[in-house]
Structure formats: C-alpha cells, structure tokens
C-alpha cells in the first residue's frame, strides 16, 4: 500500500487535470446574431429567415421553414422545460449553427436531373463486393454487400465459380484462399437491401467463370430471387442506355456474353423471347403440380425444358454487355458500334490511356460505360486515386469498399453528392461532343471561382474518445488539414496551427482555394493530434464535393478511418464562393 502511495506521489506531477473549456460562439457567430437581431438579445423567426436567405444563401427558405426551425431548436435545447417564447437567444443560435442535422454542409435531397442516359452519371461502384478483408485469404460473405448497399453503392461485383463438384455456383475470388459464399445468399441480400438507401438501379457485374449448365442455373436463380426487380431489355442489349429514373427499383445484370450465345445471334424474335422468359417462372414451380404416377418422367422432361429455356434466357438477362479491349485499347475506344456497352479497364490501363489518349476515353464515355478496377497487386484491398477515372469520364470507378484510406475517403466524398443516391451527374463539359471541345484535365484554364474556407472550432472528442486516447497526461493538441483534390491545377494543401491542451480547439483561420474546375473538386478535411515524438494521431476526417457546399456557417460532422460518422465529433466552418 505504501509502495502504491509513493508511486502516485512520485508521478503525480505528470497526471494533469483534464479540464473542459467552456464552449462559446466564435466572433463571427456573435456578430451575425447582432446584425440580424438588430442589436437585440433575441432573434425572431422573421429575423432568422433573413439570416438564412442572406447569410446562409438558402434562397428558397420560407417563413414557415424559419418558424419550424426555430421551434425545433427550442425543443431540442429546452425539452425538459415548458417553453413559450418564440425567439432564439445567442446560445440557441449557436446551438443551431453547430448542429449538423439541421445545419449540414451539404443537402440531403436528390437534386440532379435523373432523366439523362446512364452514361451521363458517375456511379458508386464496388470491386469484389463479397470480400470481408484482403484479396487473398479473407472470408467471402454477403455482409460487405449489405454494408455497401446501405451506404448507397449502386455497383456490386460478384465473381462466379463452380463448386468442387461442378454442380453448383459459388462466389469467391478465384485462385486464392478466400472462402466461398453461396450465390443465392448474395442474391437474396442484394434483393433485400438494394433500395434501402437509394431507389436508383443497382448494377450487378458478374465475373463469369462457369459452364453453360451452371449459367442456366444462375439465370434461373436470378429470375426466381429477384422477380419483378430484375430488368432486361429486348432483345437483350441496349442500343441507348435508359436513365436512372427509368430504371428505378430495378436490378441490372452486366457481364460479358458467353461465347456460346455470341455464336447464336439469329434469335431476333423478341416476342418469343418474352414468352420463354415468362415460361421460366412457371417451370420453376411446376414440379409440385405433376401427377404422382408420372413424377419421374415429368421431372426429367421439366428439367430439360427448364434448362433449355433458362439457358436461352441467360443472354436476355444481360442488360449491360461487358467487353475488354481486343484489338488494342485505342482502336476499341474509337471504333463505333450500334449497341452501347461497358468496357472494363485496370487502373494501369486507365492511367496509361488517360495520359496518351484521354480525349478518346472522354468521347467513348459520352455513349458507353467504362468500369475501372484496382490492379491485382493491391492484395490488402487498398485503392487507387479515383480522380484519374472521373477526369476522363469513367462512370464506374470500382473500389474495395471493405478497405479504408484516403482514396476511399475521396470516393465517400464524391458520392455524398446528390443526396447520397449513388448517381452523380457528370459535368456538362465531359458530355460535349464537338470535336474541338473535348475536356482535357491537364489544360490551363482560367479560375472559375474561389472557395474561401474558414475553420472556427471543433468539439465532440471528449464524448467519442476516452480522456487518455490521445495523451495519457494532458488534453489533446489538435490541428486541421484542409485540402482540395481535383484536376492538377486545383490541388492545394493547407493546415491550421496546433491548439495545445484543449478538447474544444478554436482556430479561427481562413484559407482560399482558386478553382479552375470546381465541378470535379473535393474538399478534404482531416483533424490530427500533434505528437512530438511519434506519428500524429488521427482525430477524424470528411470529404465534401465542392459544388454541393452550402454557403455560410455550417456544422461539419467528422468520420472515422472507415468512413463511419462519429456520434459527436464535428467542426464549425464557413464556406464562401467569391
């Protein structure tokens, strides 16, 4: 006991108190309150409306919106008190501004035009969507698929392989030690979770390593499980992609048409195809209705008929035909075809093509889809820089969603746009078809706008982290990195000073970012805790599409390394376009 006492006495000088600084509004918040309250101590709904329209840039806001917001703030702050006043004091006003659910930096509604053809959109796309970890030895599961869909991912990839007895289909990363998951389980999970986050179409890309018999089994399974959600056009391939609006609540299959079906393109009787497809469902359930004395023969005949019909239906289920460059990538890009398609490229192929003939890729993506996938050496499920694909119009930049890192943060940031629905309308300059107007991300362009970002303060770490998480003996020393990721001319990095020993750091620093292509710019924000002797500790991050930023003073929630939002950690910031 005496030893313990001496220990604490000896080291007590290092055990500093974790005092909590009282949180007060920044000067800009106080000044805005004074201006819009006309120098008073209360802000009425009329005055709040004027602040929202003039300062926050919410031009469509009405007096009813302001009144509802005011009452919401009062109810949130004073829910234990019978409250009758109908105005906000300075603390109420500060609470409102620092509350991300009612004062978020970007909107939560779908607002892009969703009626353009599919190739006009960047599509939230996953790679090897069934893997729980690395590319070589992790388990395969439907859980990562569910997680991706619930985040808003609209492109799911499944690798299809025969099982050991060659009589069933399983999903796994082929020629590795990954453990398989059943295809029907993956299909069921896709059906159940496809439209929880977004009503817009889910594209399931199939890496097909099957024989004709197992392909027939996949077709039967897809029809039986997906039912009316499954979409396929006549005669089995798009001549022009429909729009996300037309394809709402549909699951679309995309794969390379099998060789045996490419050799039989003379089946142009679309009405007959529809009859076949309708017959499949009847055949799937017909066994139970056969007379007992003819059961064996009926079952055999039924299986043969069902196989024939389902095998024929497989090609009609492939709504988006996939392809790989056959006679050289550039020739593939410039040779026109009647039917639109999806071209798959590795990240190395895309990088090389973007460097050598980026204009051809841009033109190709004005009619077709391009899917870019990580190189095979990314065995830890790391990711590449997605801007490389987006800058040349590639719609489906496929990512390992089970991983994490700065590249994945950019992916999360891009698809926070447009209400997080998984489809982001491409900038108009990527769709221009005039010969001399093809977008070149390396071209020197004039500054289109300047984004001013002010970092006021942060809060919430004391609630989401233990008091010794960052430093065992003192409060943390936070600083914030603010950077722009976009075309080469727009890339910029800034950071605040370090605020020592404070759980609620106040920086009050402003940065300016001249932007030549704001449509492709992402604002990346990372908070770190300074450590003199070791690597700085991570304190939260977020990434926001610049064109979606709402001007004014906003509460910016931060996320962990995997992109999961913290319950309390957030920054108070201001955004202005000048």
Domain edge (last residue) among 400, 430, 460: 430
Please tell me which residue in 78, 111, 112, 173 is annotated as part of the active site.
Answer: 173
SS3 411: helix
User: Does the predicted model carry a pTM greater than 0.85?
Assistant: yes
d(CA 238, CA 321): 8
Tokens of 349: 């192929």
Is residue 155 assigned to a domain?
A: yes
Residues 6+ apart with CB under 8 A from 366: 119, 393, 430, 431, 433
CA pair distance 214, 160, nearest whole angstrom: 10
Do 356 and 390 share a domain, yes or no?
A: yes
Residue 136: inside a domain: yes
Q: Looking at residue 336, what is its pLDDT?
A: 76
Q: What is the pLDDT of residue 4?
A: 43
Q: Are residues 183 and 324 in the same domain?
A: yes
Distance CA(448)–CA(59), nearest Å, equals: 22
- Asked if 48 and 197 sit in the same domain, the reply is no
Residue 507 belongs to a domain: yes
Residues 564 and 536 sit within 8 Å (Cβ to Cβ): no
Pair (248, 131) in one structural domain: yes
Written as tens digits, the pLDDT of the chain (578 aa) is 444 434 433 444 444 455 556 689 999 999 999 999 999 999 999 999 999 999 999 999 999 999 999 999 999 888 755 556 789 999 999 999 999 999 999 999 999 999 999 999 999 999 999 999 999 999 999 999 999 999 999 999 999 999 999 999 999 999 999 999 999 999 999 999 999 999 999 999 999 999 999 999 999 999 999 999 999 877 667 788 999 999 999 999 999 988 766 555 554 444 344 444 444 554 445 444 444 455 555 555 565 555 555 756 788 899 999 988 888 899 999 887 788 999 999 999 999 999 999 999 999 999 999 999 999 999 999 999 999 999 999 999 999 999 889 999 999 999 999 999 999 999 999 998 877 789 999 999 999 999 999 999 999 999 999 999 999 889 999 999 999 999 999 999 999 999 999 999 999 999 999 999 999 999 999 999 999 888 999 999 999 999 999 999 999 999 999 999 999 999 999 999 99
Tens of pLDDT along 462-519?
999 999 999 988 999 999 999 999 999 999 999 999 999 999 999 999 999 999 999 9
Indicate the number of domains in the chain: 3
CA 137 to chain centre: 26
- Indicate whether 436 belongs to any domain: no
Q: Mind spelling out the 3-state secondary structure of 5-42?
A: HHHHHHHHHHCCCCCCCCCCCCHHHHHHHHHHCCCCCC
> 211 lies in which domain range?
120-263+313-430
Within this chain, do residues 57 and 188 fall inside the same structural domain, yes or no? no
Answer yes or no: do 525 and 566 share one domain.
Answer: yes
Which CATH number fits the domain that encloses residue 486? Answer: 2.60.40.150
CA distance 270 to 274: 6
Catalytic residue, candidates 127, 250, 316, 321: 127
* Cβ atoms 451, 515 nearer than 8 A: yes
Same structural domain for residues 472 and 405?
no
Under 8 Å between Cβ of 550 and 58: yes
219 in any annotated domain: yes
Please say if 249 is a catalytic residue: no
Are 375 and 346 within 8 A, CB to CB? yes
What is the four-CA torsion angle of 280, 285, 290, 296, rounded to 10 degrees?
Answer: 80
SS3 call for 458 = strand
338 φψ region: left (φ > 0), alpha (ψ -120 to 50), beta (else)? alpha
Complete DSSP assignment for 245-308: TTTTT-EEEEEPPPHHHHT-TT---HHHHHHHHHHHHHHHTGGGGS-GGGHHHHHHHHHHHHHH
pLDDT in tens, 119-154: 999 999 999 999 999 999 999 999 999 999 999 999
**What is the CATH classification number for the domain harbouring 236?**
3.20.20.190
The answer to whether residues 380 and 258 belong to one domain is yes
Question: Under the phi-then-psi rule, with left for phi > 0, alpha for psi from -120 to 50, and beta for the rest, what region is 552?
Answer: left
Q: Which of 60, 82, 97 is the last residue of a domain?
A: 97
**Res 1: pLDDT:** 44
CB atoms within 10 A of CB 322: 19
Q: Is 173 a catalytic residue?
A: yes
Please report where in the chains the tokens 């078809």 appear, as a residue: 433
Indicate if 399 and 454 belong to the same structural domain.
no
Q: What pLDDT is attached to residue 350?
A: 96
Note whether 250 and 390 are same-domain residues: yes
């Amino acid at each position: 006991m005496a030893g313990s006492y001496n220990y604490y006495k000896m080291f007590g000088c290092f055990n500093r108190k974790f005092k909590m600084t009282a949180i007060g509004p920044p000067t800009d918040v106080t000044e805005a309150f004074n201006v819009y309250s006309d120098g008073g101590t209360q802000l009425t709904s009329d005055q709040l409306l004027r602040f929202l329209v003039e300062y926050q840039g919410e031009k469509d806001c009405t007096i009813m919106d302001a009144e509802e917001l005011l009452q919401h703030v009062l109810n949130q702050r004073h829910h234990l008190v019978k409250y009758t006043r109908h105005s906000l004091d300075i603390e109420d006003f500060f609470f409102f501004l620092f509350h991300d659910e009612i004062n978020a930096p970007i909107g939560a509604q779908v607002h892009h035009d969703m009626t353009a053809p599919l190739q006009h959109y960047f599509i939230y796309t996953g790679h090897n969507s069934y893997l729980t970890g690395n590319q070589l030895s992790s388990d395969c599961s439907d859980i990562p698929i569910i997680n991706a869909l619930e985040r808003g991912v609209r492109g799911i990839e499944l690798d299809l392989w025969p099982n050991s007895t060659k009589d069933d289909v399983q999903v796994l990363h082929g020629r590795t030690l990954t453990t398989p998951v059943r295809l029907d389980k993956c299909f069921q999970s896709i059906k159940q979770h496809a439209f929880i986050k977004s009503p817009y179409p889910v594209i399931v890309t199939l890496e097909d390593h099957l024989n004709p018999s197992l392909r027939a089994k996949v077709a039967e399974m897809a029809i039986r499980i997906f039912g009316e959600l499954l979409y396929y056009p006549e005669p089995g391939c798009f001549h022009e992609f429909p729009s996300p609006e037309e394809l709402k609540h549909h699951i679309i299959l995309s794969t390379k048409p099998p060789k045996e079906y490419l050799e039989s393109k003379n089946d142009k009787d679309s009405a007959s195809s529809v009859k076949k497809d309708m017959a499949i469902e009847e055949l799937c359930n017909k066994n139970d209705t056969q007379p007992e004395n003819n059961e064996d023969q009926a079952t055999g005949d039924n299986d043969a008929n069902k196989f024939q019909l389902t095998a024929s239906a497989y090609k009609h289920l492939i709504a988006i035909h996939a392809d790989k460059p056959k006679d050289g990538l550039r020739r593939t890009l410039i040779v026109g075809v009647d039917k639109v398609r999806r071209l798959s490229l590795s990240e190395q192929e895309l990088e090389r093509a973007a460097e050598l003939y980026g204009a051809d890729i841009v033109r190709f993506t004005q009619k077709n889809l391009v899917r870019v996938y990580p190189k095979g050496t990314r065995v830890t499920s790391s990711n590449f820089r997605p801007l490389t694909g987006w800058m040349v119009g590639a719609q489906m930049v496929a990512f390992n969603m089970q991983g994490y890192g700065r590249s994945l943060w950019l992916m999360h940031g891009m698809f926070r746009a447009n209400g997080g629905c998984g489809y982001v309308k491409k900038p108009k300059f990527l769709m221009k078809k005039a010969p001399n107007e093809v977008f070149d991300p390396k071209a020197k362009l004039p500054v289109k706008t300047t984004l001013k970002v002010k970092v006021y303060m942060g809060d919430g770490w004391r609630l989401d982290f233990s008091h010794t998480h960052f430093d065992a003996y003192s409060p943390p020393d936070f600083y914030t990195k603010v950077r722009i990721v976009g075309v080469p001319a727009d890339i910029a990095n800034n950071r605040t000073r370090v605020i020592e020993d404070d759980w609620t750091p106040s920086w009050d620093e402003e940065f300016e970012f001249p932007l030549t292509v704001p449509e492709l710019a992402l604002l990346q924000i990372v908070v770190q805790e300074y450590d003199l002797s070791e690597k700085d500790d991570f304190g939260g991050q977020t990434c926001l599409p610049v064109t979606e930023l709402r001007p004014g003073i906003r509460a910016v929630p931060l996320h962990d390394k995997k992109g999961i939002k913290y319950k309390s950690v957030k920054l108070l910031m201001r955004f202005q376009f000048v």
